[in-house]
Amino acid sequence: MVQSSLTELEAVLVVARLGKFRASALELGVSTTALSNAIGKLERTLGVRLFNRTTRSVSLTEAGQHFVAHVAPALDSIREAMDAARSQQREPSGTLRINTFPTAAREIISSLVLPFLRAYPDVHVDIVTEGRLVDIVAGGYDLGIRSSDLVPADMIAIPLGVMRRNVVVATPEYLEARGTPVVPQDLTAHSCLRVRLPNGAIHRWPFEKDGESIYIDVQGPMTLDEASLARTAVLASVGLALAMEADVRDDIEAGLLVRVLEDWTPILAPLSLYYPSRRNPTAAFKAFVDFARLSGVRETQWVPTGRETPATDVQPL
């Protein structure tokens, strides 16, 4: 296999352009002897003579002319690629790939991602949502966002700090027709929207009060795996839904939905932004991490109390 350094190829192009070894050596910042040796090494590697040399001038051979015609555009492309890579170290640009689950994406899109994009318009953020926990390194992602209790131990994590909780909601019309559950066990007599986990299991609704934890295997007319569908169904008075408070807060404030079992719904672990250790991060990566550290998303510092809902294969809707 023929292998030559970029320095040798660059030397050929400079000598071909200037036609003199001394002038070329000055431009390249090397000695005339070093330049001559580099050209000679490349010629021996290729097995052809690239230059005709006299005491007064240097000119390309026919083989040298063909060589330069092919190498010059290739080197231009390499320089452009290297310049583009260096620019990402100077100015935030390029694409950041983030893996998270759907609920977390909805929570951070307006409070973190959109403000970041307004501050750094040359950066493109590619968000991939899935319920299952994935290896972000193997998946080719720059960053992940998960519940703090689900972040792998070998990752660097930045707690976003927003307090999160599930709520059980229904429309006033449903509650008027079917009654209001007072304790979790009352749900067995109600129509509930069930949630399927990525592993195929049905999510049991978690409750906690005064140190007592209860998991209810709810029943109802629909099984869903996407929160937006659950919101549509509960607003249509199909039944009760377990949802992230952030997803239905506007509906509650507008009187479209009513919270029930409020004293039984536990606090969830906050979100964390996480990533593997990086020696030479791009400017876009560094800017996003710094932005997350200073972001208004970090409203409170979460301290585990032992009362949080245990992690499952996926966050509930």
Indicate the pTM of the whole model: 0.59
What's the fold here for domain 94-162+270-294? Answer: D-Maltodextrin-Binding Protein; domain 2 (3.40.190)
Q: Does domain 164-268 have CATH number 1.10.10.10?
A: no
Q: How many Å apart are CA 89 and CA 96, to the nearest integer?
A: 14
Burial readout 257-295 (b: 16 or more C-beta within 10 A, e: otherwise): bbebbeebbbbbbbbbbbbeeeeebbbbbebbbebbeeb
Residues 229-242 have pLDDT tens digits of 888 999 999 999 99
pLDDT on residue 85: 66
- Helix, strand or coil for residue 257? coil
pLDDT on residue 241: 95
Q: Where in the chain is the domain with CATH 3.40.190.10?
A: 94-162+270-294
Task: Give, as one character, the DSSP assignment of residue 276.
Answer: -
Counting as low any pLDDT under 70, the low residues of the chain are 1-4, 83-89, 161-162, 227, 279, 296-317
pLDDT on residue 180: 96
Task: Give, as one character, the DSSP assignment of residue 284.
Answer: H
- Helix, strand or coil for residue 175? helix
- Helix, strand or coil for residue 258? strand
pLDDT on residue 138: 83
pLDDT on residue 236: 95
Q: Where in the chain is the domain with CATH 3.40.190.290?
A: 164-268
3-state helix, strand, coil in the chain (%, to 5): 40, 20, 35
Q: How many Å apart are CA 82 and CA 93, to the nearest integer?
A: 14
The phi, psi pair for 275, rounded to 5°, reads: -165, 160
pLDDT on residue 98: 96
For 6-90, give the CATH class.
mainly alpha
